[in-house]
Amino acid sequence: MTRTAMVVGGGIGGLAAAARLRMDGWDVRVLERAGGLPETGTALGLWPAAVKALDAIGVGDLAREQGRPQLRTTLLRPDGTRIASMSQKDPIHLLSRPPLLRLLHKAAGEVEFGASAPDVRELRGYDLVVAADGINSAARTALFGDAYRPVYVGATAWRGTVDGDTADFAETWGERARFGVTPQEGNRTNWYACVLAPERQRFPGGEAAAVRGHFGHWHGEVRRVLAQLTEDTVARNDLYYLKRPLPSYVAGRVALIGDAAHAMTPDMGRGACEALVDAVTLAESVSTLGVATGLRRYDKLRRRPTQRMAKASLLVNRAAHARRFTGIRDTVLGLAVR
């Protein structure tokens, strides 16, 4: 008898879950509220565990081919002097969100775009429901209550891409602010910037002017990016996280994955990676052990590691946006890395 699953959310985690479940013979329905796949988006860092998850759904090699491998990360001060450099044995592959989603969509198959998200408590006739509906997950609120809604971390972030290549992944830490650049496919530079700010703050001169105002006096690579900014190429989002960790990623036959389960700040660059690992772990668990036992295994394997990652990401956020003693912070960080 064919097992059935409903996946609520057709982003990175939802598509990966659908792809792996269909590989294992499940009949899967995927609902996504957006009208289609995005055409634009900045680079994501795919750590080795995430690429291994992509291998499990047959698109790992394509992600490696299309992405930009990185083995080194450099931390700088606003004047361009180095705080520390970090290297890893296995590369992080930098790939933009649109091509990654296209790979996942091709692997997952049919998706119902423009679909309203149902109340997961009222879904009937499915052996499994996968809630992959993002940071503002309606499923999470329905199952666990308002106490688990995301909380503003106190920082806002801009991001975009500009022409010209950059050789390395570099992040510059200042006082209450930071600026990052990474290579991106197509010989472009992916950039992002964060500052402490009140929630939903508006900048009268526009977002591009606000970024220049905060970072225009920083080192040359930052200024190279700023010189190319136009208002229509700058995206901005306030940053949120789950202040109160969920007691379980499972409720009945519903499993939460990705940001719905463990929304974290982007400071470790692991949000998309953890969603991919969640998806494959969940699908493989329920396919091999059955739904009830598989859901317990999924929760056991993924809840504590991802919640630890979320805590670590928050600590990095606090350190990167320190208001005082940044010289001591930089010295300690450099010593720790060495």
Q: Please write the tens of the pLDDT for every residue from 106-159.
A: 999 999 999 988 899 989 899 999 999 999 999 999 999 999 999 999 999 999
* Residues facing 163 on adjacent strands: 188
Tokens of residue 175, six digits: 């006082």
Across 304-320, average pLDDT: 92
User: Which amino acid, one-letter code, is at 234?
Assistant: V
Average pLDDT in the chain: 93
Read off the pTM: 0.94
Give the three-state DSSP class for 337: helix
pLDDT band at 89 (very low <50, low <70, confident <90, very high): confident
Contact assessment for residue 60 and residue 54, using Cβ atoms and an 8 Å cutoff: yes
In three-state secondary structure terms, 122 is helix
According to CATH, where is 3.30.9.30 located in the chain?
Answer: 152-240+333-337
How far apart are the C-alpha atoms of 213 and 29, rounded to whole Å? Answer: 47
| pLDDT of 324 strictly over 80 | no
pLDDT at residue 338, rounded to an integer? 60
User: Where is pLDDT greater, at 325 or 94?
Assistant: 94
Q: What is the percentage of the chain residues whose pLDDT exceeds 90?
A: 78
Contact in structure between 64 and 179 (CB atoms under 8 Å): no
Q: Per-residue confidence at 325, pLDDT binned at 50, 70, 90?
A: low
Question: Which of these, 44, 258, 251, 255, lies nearest to 135 by C-alpha position?
Answer: 258
CA distances from 141 to 137, 196, 247, 296, 314 (A): 7, 27, 13, 21, 22
CATH 3.50.50.60 fits 4-69+94-151+241-320, yes or no: yes
Question: How high is the pLDDT of residue 186?
Answer: 83
pLDDT in tens, 9-68: 999 999 999 999 999 999 999 999 999 999 888 889 999 999 999 999 999 999 999 999
Q: How confident is the model at residue 99 (pLDDT cuts 50, 70, 90)?
A: very high
Domain 152-240+333-337 has CATH 3.40.50.10490: no
In the chain, CATH 3.50.50.60 sits at 4-69+94-151+241-320
